[in-house]
Amino acid sequence: MRYALTVAALLMIAAPAQAEPRSEYVTMVLQAFAAKVECPGTDLVYQDLVQKAQDMHMPDGTTEQVRKAIAYLHTGGRMGERQDDSLMSEVAVATQTTDFDQRRLGMTTWCEEQKKRLAGFIRTKN
């Protein structure tokens, strides 16, 4: 028994740090795009989203897959591309969460919160 616990502890210590969950990244990207659309004078810094995905150890192309999934879901399939079911589900949940937050806070407050929270990914238009 002691041996099993020791091995388990060593495996936990030796295991590389887990990447942050993709759903967290999906929500961040969706909220950045929503801020661009919903908040006057706000623009999106796409390259910074790509860099964040790399920092989070996401596979190459994750940002573009998420962008396409968001576009597909939010335009009823007229834009973007359908992605795998798990990503589409994550976008749907992120959409519901964002919609709820926007209604709960009101758009003005939601936009102000996003400008603070997503400062590296959204900016004021010039």
61-107: per-residue pLDDT in tens?
999 999 999 999 999 999 999 999 999 999 999 999 999 999 999 99
Structural domain span for residue 60: 21-124
In a domain, 7, yes or no: no
So what's the pLDDT on residue 3? 45
In a domain, 93, yes or no: yes
In a domain, 69, yes or no: yes
So what's the pLDDT on residue 20? 61
Phi and psi angles of residue 94, each rounded to the nearest 5 degrees, phi first:
-60, -40
**pTM for this prediction:** 0.81
Total structural domains in the chain? 1
In a domain, 89, yes or no: yes
Whether residue 46 contacts residue 126, with contact meaning beta carbons closer than 8 Å, is answered with no
In a domain, 50, yes or no: yes
In a domain, 8, yes or no: no
The string over 73-99, giving b where at least 16 C-beta atoms fall within 10 Å of a residue's C-beta and e elsewhere, is bbeeeeebeebeeebeebbeebbeebe
% of the chain at pLDDT higher than 70: 83
Q: What is the mean pLDDT of residues 108-126?
A: 89
CA–CA dist 51, 34 (Å, integer) = 19
In a domain, 103, yes or no: yes
In a domain, 61, yes or no: yes
